[in-house]
Structure 1
Amino acid sequence: MKQDSSQRSIAKLFTHLTWIIILGLFYLLFQDQLLQKNDPNHDLNTVENDQPVVLQRNRQGHYVAPGNINGQPVRFLLDTGATDISIPGALADKLTLIPGRASYASTANGTIKVYDTQLDSVALGGLSLPNVSAHINPHMQGDTVLLGMSFLKHLELTQRGDTLTLKH
């Protein structure tokens, strides 16, 4: 009787392990598809070759892409409604940015105090610009940088369907 109970326990254990392995394989199989829908530009290479950058819109309708600020990797959300690049306060600390003069910015949630800063370089794909104005937003959560017009105004933007092409 003891052996029969032991065999059932082992069978249960193998059944559970089988399901865990199957679920793990499904996760690995669909992980790339989920990443592609939420961040279709995740593999954009940042190289300084002045080549046009072609971005795909994510499933929320935004253009997000990896880039660099002062040679450090960041994640950008393109925002043509933002005057400057807006950097969350915690990320600005990690990037060792120096907050400058306090100013006020109008946002969808009202007017907030931000701090001006100057970025040595900003890069998105093959596009790079030196000396770009930005502000540090201590109220902004997360690690996503709003890539505003202080960078985008220097580029030609062409949108067709779900694709945005940027070039000098």
Structure 2
Amino acid sequence: MGIGLALLIFNDASGDASGISSDTLGRVFYLGVLGAVIGAGILASRHRFGDMARNLALWLLVVLLLVAGYQYRYELQDVANRVTVGLVPGSPLSVTDSEGQNTVTLEKLPNGHFEARLSIDGKPVRVLVDTGATSTVLTTRDAERVGFDAEKLAYTIPISTANGNATAARVIAGEIRLGAITRRNMPLLVAAPGMLEQSLLGMNFIGALSGFDVRGDRMILRD
């Protein structure tokens, strides 16, 4: 250690010692000290060589798994998202490309519709994707879950639903999140009580994206 420190000190002025740069010499010195400490610890433990070799191999395997997990973290996250989509219908599969563009994929339900799990002002809401709906419409139950007082809303806006004509009230959502796609301060409609069975994701949200398309059983939304 003393010789290594001396070489580093004398090498600092010239930047070179026997053809070895200061950075390389510093790394060699560091690894040498680390190896000496580990070796001294192994010798002082007085364990059998076979036990020590097995323990070192296990620790090496743990380190390699951690490094591999970090290097492939995005691929592992993609696999986890795909598993979640398969287990929980409506779960969005989010992917970020090399240019930083977010893409969300929805799987078609057995009934032939696309369903999505939104987060509106931090509260989970299941919605039916309806490209024929001009606005995103919440049921009174979902509106109250988000935080709107359904009893104090003015249901004066006429809307057309699958169940016929109805009335709705206008509200503003601070944040709507669909996977990795987020929109803020977006106007929503709340259907009058009993007028809507399930909340709808309409074109005021979908139209704010750069594009979307349907490929077989998948709907792809691009931020």
Q: Which range, TM-score by smaller chain?
A: 0.5 to 0.7
Aligned pair 1:106/2:160, yes or no? Answer: yes
Cα distance in structure 2, aligned partners of 1:84 and 1:100: 17
Give the aligned length.
130
Q: Is the 8 A contact 1:86 1:136 kept in 2?
A: yes
Could you tell me which amino acid in structure 2 is paired with residue 95 of structure 1? V
Encode CA deviations 1:119-141: one digit per residue, 9 max, x unaligned: 11111111010111111112245
Identity of aligned residues (%): 30
Following superposition, the deviation at residue 74 of structure 1 comes to 1.1
Aligned pair 1:40/2:89, yes or no? Answer: yes
Aligned to 2:115: 64
Cα distance in structure 1, aligned partners of 2:207 and 2:128: 15
Q: Is the 8 A contact 1:50 1:128 kept in 2?
A: no
| TM-score in terms of structure 1 length | 0.67
- Other structure's SS at 1:92 match: helix
Higher relative contact order (CA 8 A, sep 6+): 1
Instruction: Give runs of aligned pairs for residues 73-88 of structure 1, distance below 5 A.
Output: 73-88=124-139
Q: Is the 8 A contact 1:100 1:117 kept in 2?
A: no
Following superposition, the deviation at residue 36 of structure 1 comes to 4.5
Q: Which runs of 5+ in 1 are unaligned?
A: 1-34
Following superposition, the deviation at residue 55 of structure 1 comes to 1.1
Greater Rg over alpha carbons, structure = 2
Q: Which runs of 5+ in 2 are unaligned?
A: 1-84, 95-99
Aligned to 1:152: 206
Q: Is the 8 A contact 1:50 1:127 kept in 2?
A: no
Following superposition, the deviation at residue 103 of structure 1 comes to 0.9
- Other structure's SS at 1:61 match: coil
Q: Is the 8 A contact 1:44 1:66 kept in 2?
A: no
Which structure carries more strand by proportion?
1
Cα distance in structure 1, aligned partners of 2:154 and 2:135: 14
Encode CA deviations 1:14-70: one digit per residue, 9 max, x unaligned: xxxxxxxxxxxxxxxxxxxxx959x5333757xxx8620011111111111212011
